[in-house]
Amino acid sequence: MAVDESGQAFHHPIYSFLEKMPGLSLGLTTADQLLTWGSSNSLFIFPMATSCCGIEFMAASSGRFDLDQIGSIPRGTPRQSDVMVIAGTITVKMAPRVKKLWDQMPEPKWAIAMGSCAISGDFYRDIYSVVPGVDTFMPIDVYVPGCPPNPDQLFAGLRRLQEKIRAKRNGEWTDPELRPDTPGLRSPNLPRIGDPRREASLDEAQLDAVMNLDPGGGMLRSGDKS
């Protein structure tokens, strides 16, 4: 899903204060360079790990790969983070919670979809309860494909994000990153509700299965419906 980034802007209290102070215009360039360097080299990551991609994220944070070497530090709260890494499958029930955590992160902020499940739902994309890609309900800046991607691939995604941050700080246009064009990863085989390709008979069959479901987990017989 393409995201319009043309209206995005960055604001910082210190930078705004310097702009208003007379005689300090000479320090603006240095201040901007300092903020640019800090934004791109001290990424605080909020990991939203739900499955095997989360194990690879933990491997990237271990001593062998050392995520700290590029200034990226995992944090346990969204309010102290500026990068969310969604690593794993996101269900329809989880999606509003993920979006709420995303909204709690301060601006400027960025999001990385790590792994096939976060990008498209992958193995579980035909299940009605799974979101077919996190970019259906929140913006994604960088895609890291793989099942699961290894720590080196995650580092490559973080480096791409650093390049985008530097370019934006320099006033350069950055094209939104497109979802990887891999066969089977763009849309689910089973159309979701609201999709024009979805047949009405599928809605009826799904509704009938739910209405006839026994609270104990079994299927009710036709004579037991009353």
* Averaged pLDDT for residues 208-213: 69
**Res 51: pLDDT:** 84
Q: Examine the pLDDT at 85 and tell me if it is beyond 90.
A: yes
Between 170 and 47, where is the model more confident?
47
CATH 3.40.50.12280 fits 43-169, yes or no: yes
* Averaged pLDDT for residues 151-164: 88
pLDDT tens-digit map of 30-77 = 555 555 555 556 788 898 888 888 888 888 887 777 777 777 778 888
- Contact criterion met (CB below 8 Å) for 86 and 48: yes
Strand, helix or coil for residue 169: helix
Distance separating alpha carbons of residues 156 and 208, to the nearest angstrom: 47
Model confidence band, residue 112 (pLDDT cutoffs 50, 70, 90): very high
* Averaged pLDDT for residues 143-171: 86
**Res 198: pLDDT:** 78
Q: What is the DSSP letter of 114?
A: E
Torsion angle of C-alpha atoms 213, 97, 4, 128, degrees rounded to 10: -10
Q: Examine the pLDDT at 86 and tell me if it is beyond 90.
A: yes
Report domain extents, the chain. Answer: 12-41, 43-169, 191-226
Q: Is the peptide bond before 108 cis (omega within 30 degrees of 0)?
A: yes
Between 206 and 30, where is the model more confident?
206
**Res 216: pLDDT:** 57
Between 223 and 17, where is the model more confident?
17
Across 38-42, 140-144, 173-177, which has the greatest mean pLDDT?
A: 140-144
- Where would I find the H helices in 69-199? 95-104, 116-120, 151-169
> Which of 213, 215, 216, 190 lies closest to 203 in space, CA to CA?
190
Q: Examine the pLDDT at 196 and tell me if it is beyond 60.
A: yes
Model confidence band, residue 99 (pLDDT cutoffs 50, 70, 90): very high
- Contact criterion met (CB below 8 Å) for 106 and 82: yes
* Averaged pLDDT for residues 151-177: 84
**Res 123: pLDDT:** 76
> Which of 136, 138, 95, 85 lies closest to 115 in space, CA to CA?
85
Distances (CA, A) of 54 to 1, 92, 104, 169: 24, 19, 21, 30
